[in-house]
Structure 1
Amino acid sequence: MDAVVKSLSTRETSVDADKREMQRPSREEAEAAVRTLIRWAGDDPEREGLLETPKRVAKAYRELFAGYEEDAGDVLAKVFEDVEGYGDMVLVRDIPFHSHCEHHMVPFHGKAHIAYFPSQGVVGLSKLARLVDVYARRLQTQETMTAQITDAIEDSLKPRGIAVMIEAEHMCMSMRGVMKAGSSTVTTSFTGIFKDEPAEQVRFFTQLRAGKEYR
């Protein structure tokens, strides 16, 4: 199972990134593709309300998929080693995110919860939120995103244990297909202490529930 997770989380290699960059079409080609999709949907890209839409969509895509331009290692590069001997769980919960399903290019959104036991130091708490966005702002599956976040933390911090939980609603289920609005998908990934000691998993989930009770 670990091997499967590892292969999923490392599928975006530097070679893949270089190849994708070389094959990236021009903005003009992207806008032409949007006009084609508008016609495919059954509308006229030349009517007044849609004239600027291809340009807006191309600009929006650069923002929505900005994660392709970022590197998780850079986000987690600065580690604070002087933490006065702190070695207990660090938990950042309720990190909101928006992503796009790679199967239908339809949004899914939700919250990520990340915990780890420091070993060689800690990172700024905002860096974990930024890490979520690095992977969320790409064409994704929730399962892969969960594994990628775990692997990035492992590579940069070498902690004694990692827990990642993602809760999300997928518009490909809510807006189309089975059309079950409000259904949520939960994925988890555990390493080290969280994987080997069930009590620490329980503590992780307990703190997540406590956060909801306090609100």
Structure 2
Amino acid sequence: MAYKKTEQYDEKATLDLSANYKSIIQSLGEDVDREGLLKTPERIAKAMQFMTQGYQQDAVAILNSAKFHEEVSEMVIVKDIEIYSMCEHHMLPFIGKAHVAYIPNGYITGLSKIARVVDVFARRLQVQERLTTQILHAIDDALNPHGVAVVIEAQHLCMMMRGVQKQNSLTTTSAFSGEFEKNTTRSEFMKLVTARLS
């Protein structure tokens, strides 16, 4: 039985992107007709569509799809959410973790939806600063909580592979709204995020 992998991609986008990537590879001085590169333009075209799929997704709709009325007003934290995004300046990856919290105001959402919201915005051409605030605003808009906190830590390959070439630098961004603008609430969040519970 022959192996057949099933994937769905926009056919026109795949053709357009493939043609452009073929031209880029040629411009770099490579032979696009050699065996190892024959299917590379198409592979890149599909990979780029996968890595930017967030443009076709609605973060607020995702949160609303699992929105439940619940009289809970304690902090909800989902931490260590893996992030794989693309820097919009050099189209190189940045990789890290997001820590997201909110204080419900009559409604909660499925925990997996928080991670999905992170992916919606990470799977676009991004800067870490904007990614952080987009996650916060989506949760604010969908749930109208008492407050939202987002902290992202990431390593940027545009700083590691090129330019300044600093291998151990870590970029941290944060955004807070509502109750998290108060020092005591923010401190509790940061303490819980950094704690390693056994």
TM-score (norm 1): 0.84
Gap runs ≥5 in structure 1: 1-24
CA distance in 2, matches of 1:29, 1:129: 31
Aligned to 2:3: none
Aligned to 1:72: 59
| 4+ aligned runs moved over 6 Å, structure 1 | none
Conserved? CA contact 2:72–2:105, under 8 Å? no
- Between Structure 1 and Structure 2, how many residues are aligned? 187
CA distance in 1, matches of 2:115, 2:68: 17
Conserved? CA contact 2:121–2:134, under 8 Å? yes
User: How big is the shift at 1:41?
Assistant: 2.0
CA distance in 1, matches of 2:129, 2:13: 31
1:174-185 alignment to 2 at 5 Å? Answer: 174-185=160-171
SS at 1:163's partner residue?
strand
Aligned to 2:147: 161
Q: Does 1:43 align with 2:34?
A: no
1:193 pairs with one of 179, 189, 193: 179
Aligned to 2:9: none
* Identical-pair percentage: 47
User: How big is the shift at 1:147?
Assistant: 0.7
Paired amino acid for 1:209: T
Q: Does 1:102 align with 2:88?
A: yes
* Structure with a larger share of its residues in strand: 2
Gap runs ≥5 in structure 2: 1-11
CA distance in 2, matches of 1:44, 1:135: 36
CA distance in 2, matches of 1:131, 1:115: 13
CA deviations on 1:39-70 (whole Å, 9 max, x unpaired) are 12221111111001011111111111111111
CA deviations on 1:3-56 (whole Å, 9 max, x unpaired) are xxxxxxxxxxxxxxxxxxxxxx64222111101111122211111110010111
